[in-house]
Each structure stands twice: as C-alpha cells, then as structure tokens.
Structure 1
Amino acid sequence: MDNSISEVPYVILIGGGVEACEGIRVARQMGLKLIVVDGDPHAPGFELADLSLSISTYDGQQLIRACRDLQQDGCKIIGVIAMCADVPVSVAAVAQALGLPGLSLESACWVADKLLMKQRLEAQGIPIPGYAAVKSVEDMGEQAALLGLPLVVKPVDSRGARGVLLIDEEAQFEWAYKVARDESPTGRVMVEEYLPGPQFSTETLVDKGQCYTVGFSDRNYEWLEKTRPHIIENGGDAPTALSPTERQQVVDTVEKAALALNIRSGVAKGDMVLTPRGPKVIEIAGRLSGGYFSTTQIPLATGVNFVEQAIRLALGETLQPSAVASKWQRGVAIRYLDLPPGRVSSVTGEKKAASLPGVEMLRLFVAPGDYVPQLGNHTQRPGFVIATAETKELAVSRAQRALAQIRIDYAQ
C-alpha cells in the first residue's frame, strides 16, 4: 500500500457505472479522495477513482471487510454514499460498521423492500395505494377482487421497472405473477391499486429532519398504451405543470413519507401520484435517483448541485439553506429513443442531434450489430436526450427534435 494513502481522508462511492461517473466527477471537483466500488472490474468509474474495489455493490459484508483492511493500512474513511445505485442496505451496513453518517439499517431495509415500505408508511398514516403481498395466482385473483382492475403487479425487491406490470384482466394473472416473481431476487410478488392521475419524480435532501425538496419533475407516460402491460416511462420534464398549491401538497406528502421512514439525514427519492383524493406515495427510495435526474436534470432546472449536497450529508456536514435554494426555474426535458425490435446495422445523426440548440446531453446505447429488444423495463431503453430552454414546452420540443435526427437502420 502506498504510504500516501494515510495523508488524506477518503469517501466511498458505491456504484461506478456510466451514469455514476457524473456524480463521481462532482466528488472529484469537491477535492475528495475517492474509493469507487463496483462489481464490474471494467466499470468506467474506476478511471476516476483514487482507489478501486471490484466488489458487488450488493455485498455489504465483503465491502465492510475490504474497508477494514484499508483502515488497517492507514486509510481514513469519512463517508459512504451510493452513486446512482439502488443499494441502501449496503450503504447502511458500511456506515454502521465504520461509524459513518447515513441511514440506519432499519430504514435501509424499509426503502429496499417495497412491501416493508408500504407497511411502514401505512402504519404512519401516509397516503399510499391499496396493496397486498401475493404468494400465488389464486392470491392475485382474491386481491384483484378487493383492489379492482386494472391492477399493478410488481416484484417486492427489484428495480428499473423490471417485472412491473399493469394488468387488465384475469387471463393475464398467471403470466404476470411468473414475470414479477422471476424478477424478484427473493421470489416475492405484490400487487397495488392502480391510481389514476399525473405522476411525479421528486428528490429531497434531509438534514437532521429538515427537508429540502429540490427536484420535482412531471413524469411522462405517453408510451403506456404501446408498452402495456409493461409500465415504461418516457422521461419527464420541469418545471411542473401543477399549480403552486398542488405542488406543495405533493412536496408535503413526500417529506412526511421520508420522515416516516426515519430518513433523518440523506436523500429521499419519491415516486408520487396526485389522485382526485390528493397526493399518494407510490415509492420512496433512500438514495440518489437514476435517469440523470439528480446528477444532471436538477442542476439544469434549479441551479442546485444536488449531488454535492448529498455528498456533504454523507460526510456529516450541515447543509446551508442558500446552497439548496433554487437559483432559477428553467425548462428541462428528458426523452428516450423509441425503437422497434431488431438487429441494428447502422446508427447516424448523433453528432447533428447533439449540436442542436438546448441539447445538454445525448446518449445512445445501441451500435451496429446490437439487437434492440421489445421494451420490458427501463434498462432496455436504447438512448435519451436532455434538453433545456426558457420554458418547459420548448425544452420538450427541443428534446423531440434532437431524437428525430437519429436514424437507426436494421439488418435485413
């Protein structure tokens, strides 16, 4: 071990994928020394790390052992945070073992398990959809009679919309149960009441029980009728179309939910819906969001460096109100590339699309030779663009125009 390892403190960043690199760069700009953890030995985040640990992000115990080995070699570790990775239990386990700030293990288990989360929120009086665990197709039929159709079926402990289905009729029950069960690492399935109304992504910083909901985006489900029964989101946009009163109602609800889950210091990512009876919580995650929301969209929309503030919380620092106050409200939109299934032969138009006015980020995840699958979850979306403008409407238009420049040809 290099003797220089003991000269400065280090921060553990769990997650080193492509999206995580945006947050890792923020940490580097803060002047921090970084230990990046990822199960992929070729994770791009390792190139930005001072130290790299090729360990599964889900294996908290192995990570604890590796961190203790580093400490024995003189490495001072002062914080841990997940970077665009849904691994709250790993983060909490490391934080507890090393005496670092962060979620308790109890809170981490609540936000990692959708059934435990719903049970806790219900017990705390937070408005949520009707729900139930189901252990068989017969159970699903019984719950459908109580909750009504359409019905949302989902794995208890998966992510990225894997196995999340909107079911309209009894003939789909057996298939839906199997799909959701197969996407659950523990083989557990639950159902939820389908709630009509606009949905929102929120991002809240919590400092000693004080909540700052900085991120607020209207979710876009214009693909729903095409991808159904799979529930696939086609991005989102800000500022919200809600009235100030409606927005505040959603914010109040998500902040109460975060505190009900005992998130007293850290991040609470909310999936919310505004029903005719008021806001309800679909899910709360105790981590930075994916989809470049926390890393890119919130700073563009508000001027707040959200990831920096989340890292400061992980270091045990107190947030300054001026640092989390929106500096502006700018139009921001993310939209995903819509492609039919097939084998790709060529991809053109990317440079032209990226050069258009307002285009802040363009990423394509397809190349010649790749096979584009039928969309079944969020990880299969083949590319996206993030655009900005003075208004939300113009940002959406710019995003759509950029995607229209992309030409994908298929092998015959």
Structure 2
Amino acid sequence: MEANRHAPTKLLVLGAGRQQLALLDAARKRGLVVVAVDRDPSAPGFRLADRRALISFEDEPALHRLAEAERIDGVISPANDWSVGIAARVAHRLALPHPLDPKTAALAGSWLKQRERFAEADVPHDAWLGDGPEVTVQAFSLGGELHALSGPSGAAALAARAAAALGIREGPTSTRIRITARGPQVIELAARVGSPEEVEVVRVATGVDLNALALKGALGEPIEPVELPARPLAA
C-alpha cells in the first residue's frame, strides 16, 4: 500500500442501504473517497458514494479483488452483523488497520458463538425470551476500555464484560440487554455502530458522533478518549 500514501483516503463500505446512509454521509463530509458495495442496484446509499459496485456480501473473493484493485485504506461494515467478519478478513489480507482481528470478528458475528463464549466467561446471557425491559448500550472501546454512551450503569457494566469476553478491545459496539429479576442479561452484541436512530440519540444527548469514531477506527487513525456524559443515557 506504499504507493497509495499520498492518494486521497479511500474507504470501502459494505452496504449502501438505508441503514448505512448516515455513515456514508459522514464519510463523504469528511472528504473520503467512498467505495460502496451492495447487491441492490437501487440502494439509496450509492448516491453518496464515489465508486459503486454491485457485489453480494457473500462473494468474499470478489470483495477482496475490489478492495485490492481500488487500493483502499480501510473497510467498514456499518450495519450488517454477518459482514463484520468479512470486513475484518479483507483488512487482514491487505494488511490494513482494523479495530477487529478476524478471530474476534468471527465471534462477534455469530450469535451461537457469542453464547458459547459468554457461557465460558460467565457472562449472564439467558434473556432471549425472558421478561423485563430491553435496553441497548451504545459504546466505543479504546485500548480495551469500553466507554458506554447509553444505557443504565448496570447494563453498561455488563456490556463491558460481554465485549471483553469476545476479545473486543477497539471500536464500536451495540449491545442489547434485558433487565430481568435476576439482573441484566445479554441478548446479543453487535461489533458495529447501532441503528441510525440510536447513533443520532447518542450524538444529541452526549455530543459524541459514533459514526465519526467508527470511520477513524476503520482507517487506523488515532482516537482520543471519549468525553462521557455525567450519567449514561437510558435507551
């Protein structure tokens, strides 16, 4: 990637649907050259991209060839859990910076593997069909420390345990947790930013732009410790 040092920073975004619009817009406003892929030719996010490719996320070899040909500087999967692992593997093969290594991304992208790992690490997680309200903890990890930006304190602490159990030390997470009579229980963890609505709530309430942080993480740019609100925002 040496020859690409002085070229415009180029980001590969896996997905150009409605859920990816906010991140694509943030990337464009930053002046990044955006290469977006989606198998839907009418995907609305294509209008925000500099390059677009009709590729299915299931075609990992094609994604790798595209990334190599475009000489990308980073890759991100902002809304699809199952393509988080693909993004990590593409970055790994091209020796690009990425918040997740392929092994960690594989754990994070599989609900069954998550549950196995949570059981091994004694992380409460039997809440899929349980009673009680559900909250979502939006967070960003830096150097192994999870900075929770939403959710009550008990849920935020559990989200940190869940991320640690999966080996997540860097990048965004969105963790669904049910508050039960036995205490908070993890439903699932997504190693990505949350929905556009959740990201916007965090931005308005705390001033922290998770999309901006996710872009920096995908490009290997330095990130200062997140300035947290006095109390986490219930979500």
Give secondary structure in 2 for the equivalent of 1:215: coil
The residue that corresponds to 1:292 in the other structure is 197
Unaligned runs of 5+ in 2: none
- The equivalent position to 1:116 in structure 2, one of 113, 117, 128, is 113
Q: Residue 329 of structure 1: CA displacement?
A: 8.1
Q: 4+ residue stretches of structure 1 with deviation over 3 A?
A: 326-332
CA contact (8 A) 1:16 1:83 kept: no
- The equivalent position to 1:91 in structure 2, one of 87, 92, 104, is 87
CA contact (8 A) 2:137 2:175 kept: yes
The residue that corresponds to 1:163 in the other structure is none
TM-score in terms of structure 2 length: 0.88
CA contact (8 A) 2:150 2:233 kept: no
RMSD (Å), alpha carbons: 2.5
Q: Which has the larger radius of gyration?
A: 1
Q: What one-letter code is carried by the residue in structure 1 that aligns with 2:51? A: L
Q: Give yes or no for the alignment of 1:215 onto 2:120.
A: no
Structure-2 change in CA distance of 1:129 and 1:329 (3 Å):
closer
CA contact (8 A) 2:149 2:232 kept: no
1:225-259 deviation line (CA, Å, top 9, x unaligned): xxxxxxxxxxxxxxxxxxxxxx2121111011111
Distance 1:98 1:43 in 2: 27
1:317-356 matches, within 5 Å, as: 317-321=221-225, 323-326=226-229
Give secondary structure in 2 for the equivalent of 1:292: helix
Distance 2:115 2:134 in 1: 18
Unaligned runs of 5+ in 1: 72-76, 131-191, 217-246, 333-412
Q: What one-letter code is carried by the residue in structure 2 that aligns with 1:8? A: P
TM-score in terms of structure 1 length: 0.52
Q: Residue 297 of structure 1: CA displacement?
A: 2.2
Q: Residue 19 of structure 1: CA displacement?
A: 2.8
CA contact (8 A) 2:150 2:156 kept: no
Q: How many residues align?
A: 230
1:139-178 matches, within 5 Å, as: none
Distance 2:168 2:182 in 1: 26
Q: Give yes or no for the alignment of 1:262 onto 2:167.
A: yes
Q: What one-letter code is carried by the residue in structure 2 that aligns with 1:260? A: A
Give secondary structure in 1 for the equivalent of 2:160: helix
Distance 2:11 2:227 in 1: 22
Q: Higher helix fraction: Structure 1 or Structure 2? A: 2
Distance 2:233 2:106 in 1: 36
Q: Give yes or no for the alignment of 1:128 onto 2:108.
A: no
1:331-380 deviation line (CA, Å, top 9, x unaligned): 99xxxxxxxxxxxxxxxxxxxxxxxxxxxxxxxxxxxxxxxxxxxxxxxx
Distance 2:231 2:31 in 1: 26
Q: What one-letter code is carried by the residue in structure 1 that aligns with 2:145? A: Q
1:363-398 deviation line (CA, Å, top 9, x unaligned): xxxxxxxxxxxxxxxxxxxxxxxxxxxxxxxxxxxx
Q: Give yes or no for the alignment of 1:20 onto 2:16.
A: no
Percent identity, aligned pairs only, is: 29
Give secondary structure in 2 for the equivalent of 1:201: strand
CA contact (8 A) 2:104 2:168 kept: yes
The residue that corresponds to 1:44 in the other structure is 44
Higher relative contact order (CA closer than 8 Å, sequence separation 6+): 2
